[in-house]
Structure 1
């Protein structure tokens, strides 16, 4: 799936992503500031997360309760120095839990990603819109 969108359309983009029935482990790729966290916040909202969501830049992972007792994990590995740090925090338990796992900066843990995953790549276009590719 490929979509060009403005940030004002992000709610509809989140709905389209979930409608595509992606794997529950989704890796988010894109430059800093392109809107990865903003999209993840909207995906959480669409999945029924109540209350505030924010980037787990310092904590590495945030856990949210969604509708139907689903759990959503949001990871931000930007500050990770080694894959072993992710192993020490129990990343395998999260990624193989069957829950939604939204992973920013997954390139920091390439050897730990489950085979069954989806990828969202976001790029900033010259007109200020974003290009999103879900694979």
Structure 2
């Protein structure tokens, strides 16, 4: 599935489409260059899932937890990790297999720890500033 956001106002509708497409899948891997809009899109997805609190990048905390309307949501940013062992030491796998939503930025930092089944979300900035969002079930 390919989605296009020409402005931030498109994101709430795209977030709903993504949630519907994912069905029962709870693990989402977000790929894209720095500044592509991964965290911004995750904020819209969290809002669509009923999160009332502020959603911020967990760059320094590594993981943030949010309360959705019906489920917990864990938001990871592994950008600062130097090794996968750091994610293992913080118990990342326990989160991944908890059955709760997990939104993972920079999943390439933990390739050997990723669950077998997930939704891959790749965000690419187009020449006109729009975002092309490619989504695949794995």
TM score, norm. by length of structure 1:
0.97
Provide, for residues 10-52 of structure 1, a one-character-per-residue CA deviation record: whole Å limited to 9, x for no partner. Answer: 1111011011025210000000001000000110010001121
Q: In structure 1, what is the Cα distance between the partners aligned to 2:65 and 2:53?
A: 12
Deviation readout 1:70-101 (Å, 9 max, x if unpaired): 10000000000000000000011000000000
Q: Give yes or no for contact 2:124–2:131 (8 Å, CA) kept in 1.
A: yes
How far apart in 2 are the matches of 1:66 and 1:11?
15
Structure-1 residue corresponding to 2:54: 52
Q: CA deviation at 1:62?
A: 0.1
- Which residue number corresponds to residue 134 of structure 1? 135
Count of equivalent residues: 134
Question: 1:111 Cα deviation (Å)?
Answer: 0.3
TM-fit CA distance, 1:8: 2.1
The runs of 5 or more residues in structure 2 that have no matched partner are: none
Report the secondary structure of 1:110's partner residue: coil
1:4 maps to: 4
Give the TM-score normalised by structure 2. Answer: 0.95
Q: 1:30 aligns with which of 32, 48, 51?
A: 32
- Residues of 2 paired with 1:17 and 1:44: CA distance? 11
* Structure 1 gap ranges (5+): none
Alpha-carbon distance, 1:5 to partner: 1.4
4+ aligned runs moved over 6 Å, structure 1? none
Q: CA RMSD in A?
A: 0.8
Matching of residues 20-99 of structure 1 within 5 Å = 20-22=21-23, 23-68=25-70, 70-99=71-100
